[in-house]
Structure 1
Amino acid sequence: MTKSENTALYMQLQLELQPYLDVMTRAADAIMTKDVSKYPILVVHQQSIELGVPVVDKEKRQTKWSINASTLEEFAMKQVISAEKIEDFQGVYKDANQYLCLFVISELGANFIFIPRSEKSN
């Protein structure tokens, strides 16, 4: 896949998730303010997955994506991120006050991406 194709898919995903930006921001904030984790991760998926707590159910909302709220700690516990890679992940994790960390699972595979937070919730 070319860089321009990746950019186009990223932009499309950002548009599709725009209606859920506020709820994703609130979920990430709850994880941090309740001292659950300094590393909230929102799992964006199209199939059933046992990772995180459901925030948006695509069946109930009749949308393309479901969203679960999770953390780096859960990813490590379930070995989605290996113990050796935790420090590397923390090093690339963007400022959680400015960005949301998404783990997107789609027909293209699974990827971490960061999108700007909702302006309203800051």
Structure 2
Amino acid sequence: MDIEELLPQQPEGSKEEQKKQSPLISLEKDLELYSDSVKEVAVAIMSEGISTHPIFVAHQHTVSIGEVILDRKELNTDWTIQASTMDEFVEKGIINPERKALFLKSYKKPEDYMCVFVIVPEGANFIYYPYKK
């Protein structure tokens, strides 16, 4: 799933009004800013043999999965990013064990894309965001 698929249908009104309505606009800005740091952590997770499927959790509240790598309060940004793995998501029941194969089928190349589990008040979903070139 790409970030565009999580964006709501574009409401009528000016671009400025649209930006205020979707927190995902600020997420995209933060992911762009965080890109190099997230990629560095993903490479470390894979090269240290922790997991071949890193997952990053983007949120604006407190969550109990993964470990904080980029804190929005410390960095004066909108989103906090936590590092996790597919195994932790399966252990915690976020990814149903019976659907693990389906998840792996859609999982994009971790060297090119960050897998981000975005948590907003309305719910949560996976997106794949490309690293900066």
Q: Aligned runs of 1:1-122 on 2, under 5 Å?
A: 1-2=8-9, 4=10, 12=25, 13-119=27-133
TM superposition shift of 1:118? 2.9
Local SS of the residue matching 2:128:
strand
Is the Cα–Cα contact under 8 Å of residues 28 and 40 in structure 1 kept in the other structure?
A: yes
Higher Rg: 2
Change (3 A) 1:26 1:111: same
Using the alignment, how far apart are the partners of 1:10 and 1:115 within structure 2?
A: 16
TM superposition shift of 1:117? 1.5
Q: Tell me the alpha carbon deviations over residues 34-92 of structure 1, each in whole angstroms, 9 at most, x when there is no partner.
A: 11111100100100111101101112122211000000000001111111111100000
- For structure 1, the 5+ residue unaligned runs are none
Name the aligned partner's letter for residue 71 of structure 2.
Answer: D
- For structure 2, the 5+ residue unaligned runs are 1-7, 12-18
The root-mean-square deviation of aligned C-alpha atoms, in Å, is 1.8
TM superposition shift of 1:19? 1.1
Using the alignment, how far apart are the partners of 1:56 and 1:81 within structure 2?
A: 23
Is the Cα–Cα contact under 8 Å of residues 30 and 77 in structure 2 kept in the other structure?
A: no
Q: % of aligned pairs identical?
A: 35
